[in-house]
Structure 1
Amino acid sequence: MPSLVDLVREAGVVGAGGAGFPTHVKIDAKVDTVIANGSECEPLLHGDQHLMKAEPRKIIEGLQAVVRHTGAERGIVGIKAKYAEAKTALKEAMTGYEGLEIFELQDFYPAGDEFSLVYEITGRVIPEGGIPLQVGTLVNNVETLYNIANAIEGIPVTHKLVTVAGTVAKPLTMKLPVGISYAEAIELAGGATVENYILLDGGPMMGKVVEDPSSPITKTTNGVLLLPRDHRWVRKLIAEDRTALKFSMICCHCDMCTDICPRNLLGHDIYPSRTMRAMALSSMIDISSYTNAFLCCECGLCDFICPLDLLPREVNVMLKRRLSEAGVKNPHRRSELKPSPFRDYRKVPTGRLLLSLGLKEFDSPAPMADFQY
């Protein structure tokens, strides 16, 4: 009989949360804890919430299969306390299973980041540049677990759960075939309601700009988001390298970007404010001196909090790219880390994030479509 790894490989399962790492490689490990990531922390996206309500048993079947395969002692679903209906459905689906439990998360961003999620649930800090496996933990998105359950039944991954939201006539969450174009997905949601917009694959914080609407969605697409091109937050998302560098010259060194940085709050050696200061006072001749940028998770909170509307995240993204082009690898591997005692007080509530960014008007429930494309 084929192993779980073989079944998952044959079904083409990859990380559905956005990273797209081959799941058959990820689950081929021994850990003591398996975490189902149901936090869905990106604002405006609702696919995981709808899936947890509609298919809780399959998610639990997938979780149990991974727990059994990895020899884990427990399987934990990390879900925000506010997702009451999904939480109830999952609890009912757990009936009869041993070693499975629910962990209620606060409603903050980025609760779904693996480093933050593992710390919230287990109290363990993943090393710099590390992965959950290094602290005996495996994390899978709930849709990935749903796909694992399907793989056990011989069903391959052919569709993706996608929220189409923003400036569309009828925001929806739909199960779409992989390969459908962004333009087709937008039309299924009633079409765009503004002419001049940008298209994001993902949410407003970490989504990637899509230049060609005729290009296809993939197994990692969880959101198709349209936002007005003249929106204040959008202007940050589409800023070029030279703009980010120019802006760094006027940094006031208030340190707010460092104070709110999720990685810094876990004890990682990343200080966005210091990077901005260094960029303002020196040249980039010795690119290797900026390796702390490798520790940036690109969540965008530093851009959000900056009182001068500067772009620390974009500076770090640019530095990581240039470091990689120069053949410089991440040298930061510390494992003895001490989280900040202020971490709990510096979490950013999702509601505050949406209001501050001016995106609250686009926060629609995006219900599940009553049709399958």
Structure 2
Amino acid sequence: MNRDRKTLIAKTKAAGVVGAGGAGFPTHVKLDAQVKTVIVNGAECEPLLSVDVQLMERRADELVETLDFIVEALGAEAGVIGIKGKHRAAVAKLQEAVSGWDRLRVELLGDYYPAGDEHILVYDVTGQAVPEGGIPLAVGAVVINVETLLNVGAALRDQPVITTWITVAGAVREPVTLAVPVGTPVAAAVDLAGGPLTADFRVIEGGPMTGVLLSQEEVKTGRAVCKKTTTGLIVLPADHWLVRQYNVKLGRILQRAQSACCQCRLCTDLCPRYLLGHEIHPHLVLNAVNHGHAANTAAITEAFLCCDCGVCELYACPVELSPRRVYRALKEELGRRGAGNPHRRRVEPRQALGGRHIPVDHLVTRLGLDEYVVRAPWSEVEFSPRRVSIPLKQHVGVPAKPLVQAGQRVEKGQVIAVPPPDKLGAAVHASIPGRVTEVTKTEIVIVGE
């Protein structure tokens, strides 16, 4: 096979590969670049999740071979796998795997949050700071996560993305890490971990810091499903502190902030992007919004610089306020008004950066998750649900357009939807063999036969 960018992009696009650890940016677009460094994000800094570290330990050779292919195809000088030094078994496997590759290496990271933030990771690996409002490409780097890298390797063998690796943890009987078909009901995935420990529970899709609290109705009815971007399902009692925080409405947050925010600056002083040198000040946005200081446009537009890590809301604030939620609302409103990001400065990290990393064990305690810090061992079980509901939009961009109709039989791995021509998106494939029973604007339902 030709190790060129054209081949890499064509196969990655055909397989429907998207960023598995984040918003789902189409990988074929991200890889269409000339870079100096290809960085694999194996930091996995969210508490309770262990997909990436187990994949790195079990499939190190495959990861390294695919990374070298990408490095050569993009004309890069180096490929770097970032992993926390505490994961000794995985580190040993990776170091052994890269030993025969001159342009590949392993970078050991500290056990802090958010070591996996792209800007933080790029700085730790290259020593260069990504400008405000920029992406790693601005400093000659591209970042992909571990599962995405494996999916690229599979794409090079003409295998589409039809499964996702997840950790099911928290208040479940048997925490587990395993692969499930895309479109698997969340409730079925929770059952694979022995089911919840309590009848009144809630599920966070993703990690506890940046995940999404799923609607309990959607979980129970099967409408909540595992997507290409699903890396974890955190099950918690309905009255857990973290669930209550996720459920607080924005209006209530603003109401509390008017009387409780003392402008102590902890949210700003611990903000990872502020520490990288960005002009973002979470304490000032609360002040501007609560007291009608609309003239302070910088405090408002700084919303574009928020990376949504959750440090301000879930760790820093002593009175449990949420600048993050305010920033989200502001970004939505600015987007509706067609406003662009005016913050584009080159930055220099602040001197306090190294001393204000948040130890993960401290974060776990702050989140009230200590009792759930147990192993979620790897399982090779091949789960095939009776029914899958495959979303047409599991990625950044526009929804894919269906290629199939209700009543049609499909094979596992068959392409069932593609993005419109010249639009940002990703192809979607059948994750189980069976018959299409429903095609809507948002999903394709397949029932196994």
Normalised-by-shorter TM-score class: over 0.9
> 2:253 matched to 1:226?
no
Match of 1:235 in 2: 244
Larger deviation, residues 341-350 vs 151-160: 151-160
**What per-residue deviation string (whole Å, max 9, x for no partner) do you get for residues 191-228 of structure 1?**
11112222111010000111111122110000011112
Which residue, out of 92, 104, 112, partners 1:88?
Answer: 92
1:325 Cα deviation after fit: 2.2
Cα RMSD (Å) of the superposition?
1.5
Match of 1:4 in 2: 8
Superposition TM-score, scaled by structure 2 size = 0.80
Match of 2:124 in 1: 120
Structure 1 residues 94 and 288, CA, compared in 2 at 3 Å: closer, same or farther? Answer: closer
C-alpha distance in structure 2 between counterparts of 1:70 and 1:191, whole Å: 44
> What is the identity percentage for the equivalent residue pairs of Structure 1 and Structure 2?
44
C-alpha distance in structure 1 between counterparts of 2:247 and 2:295, whole Å: 26
Paired residue secondary structure (1:218): coil
Paired residue secondary structure (1:130): coil
Given that 2:281 and 2:299 are in contact with CA atoms closer than 8 Å, whether structure 1 keeps it comes out as no
1:289 Cα deviation after fit: 6.2
Given that 1:288 and 1:323 are in contact with CA atoms closer than 8 Å, whether structure 2 keeps it comes out as no
Structure 1 residues 72 and 273, CA, compared in 2 at 3 Å: closer, same or farther? Answer: same
Which residue, out of 45, 58, 66, partners 2:62?
Answer: 58
C-alpha distance in structure 2 between counterparts of 1:228 and 1:252, whole Å: 32
Pairing 1:155-234 to 2, within 5 Å after superposition = 155-211=159-215, 212-213=218-219, 214=222, 215-234=224-243
Match of 2:372 in 1: 362
Larger deviation, residues 93-102 vs 176-185: 93-102
Larger deviation, residues 326-335 vs 201-210: 326-335
1:128 Cα deviation after fit: 1.0
C-alpha distance in structure 1 between counterparts of 2:328 and 2:317, whole Å: 17
Paired residue secondary structure (2:38): strand
Given that 2:208 and 2:234 are in contact with CA atoms closer than 8 Å, whether structure 1 keeps it comes out as yes
Match of 2:423 in 1: none
Given that 1:56 and 1:90 are in contact with CA atoms closer than 8 Å, whether structure 2 keeps it comes out as yes
C-alpha distance in structure 2 between counterparts of 1:258 and 1:363, whole Å: 29
Match of 1:282 in 2: 292
The aligned amino acid for 2:307 is C
Paired residue secondary structure (2:198): coil
Match of 1:323 in 2: 334
C-alpha distance in structure 2 between counterparts of 1:315 and 1:365, whole Å: 35
1:279 Cα deviation after fit: 2.0
Given that 2:284 and 2:299 are in contact with CA atoms closer than 8 Å, whether structure 1 keeps it comes out as no
The aligned amino acid for 1:357 is L
Larger deviation, residues 294-303 vs 318-327: 318-327
**What per-residue deviation string (whole Å, max 9, x for no partner) do you get for residues 249-289 of structure 1?**
12011101100000000111100011112122216699886
Superposition TM-score, scaled by structure 1 size = 0.96
1:96 Cα deviation after fit: 2.1
Pairing 1:326-345 to 2, within 5 Å after superposition = 326-335=337-346, 337-345=347-355
Which residue, out of 18, 29, 37, partners 2:33?
Answer: 29
Larger deviation, residues 43-52 vs 278-287: 278-287
C-alpha distance in structure 2 between counterparts of 1:171 and 1:271, whole Å: 38
Match of 2:425 in 1: none
C-alpha distance in structure 1 between counterparts of 2:249 and 2:116, whole Å: 27
Which residue, out of 34, 46, 66, partners 1:42?
Answer: 46
Match of 1:141 in 2: 145
Larger deviation, residues 313-322 vs 348-357: 313-322
Given that 2:168 and 2:190 are in contact with CA atoms closer than 8 Å, whether structure 1 keeps it comes out as yes
Unmatched 5+ residue regions in structure 1?
Answer: none
> 2:265 matched to 1:262?
no
Match of 1:313 in 2: 324
C-alpha distance in structure 2 between counterparts of 1:292 and 1:220, whole Å: 27
C-alpha distance in structure 2 between counterparts of 1:73 and 1:273, whole Å: 41
Unmatched 5+ residue regions in structure 2?
Answer: 384-449
Paired residue secondary structure (1:3): helix
Paired residue secondary structure (1:276): helix
The aligned amino acid for 1:241 is L
1:49 Cα deviation after fit: 0.8
Given that 1:302 and 1:312 are in contact with CA atoms closer than 8 Å, whether structure 2 keeps it comes out as yes
The aligned amino acid for 1:265 is L
> 2:83 matched to 1:79?
yes
C-alpha distance in structure 2 between counterparts of 1:285 and 1:230, whole Å: 40
1:95 Cα deviation after fit: 3.2
Match of 1:153 in 2: 157
**What per-residue deviation string (whole Å, max 9, x for no partner) do you get for residues 329-366 of structure 1?**
2211112x111101110000001100122111111210
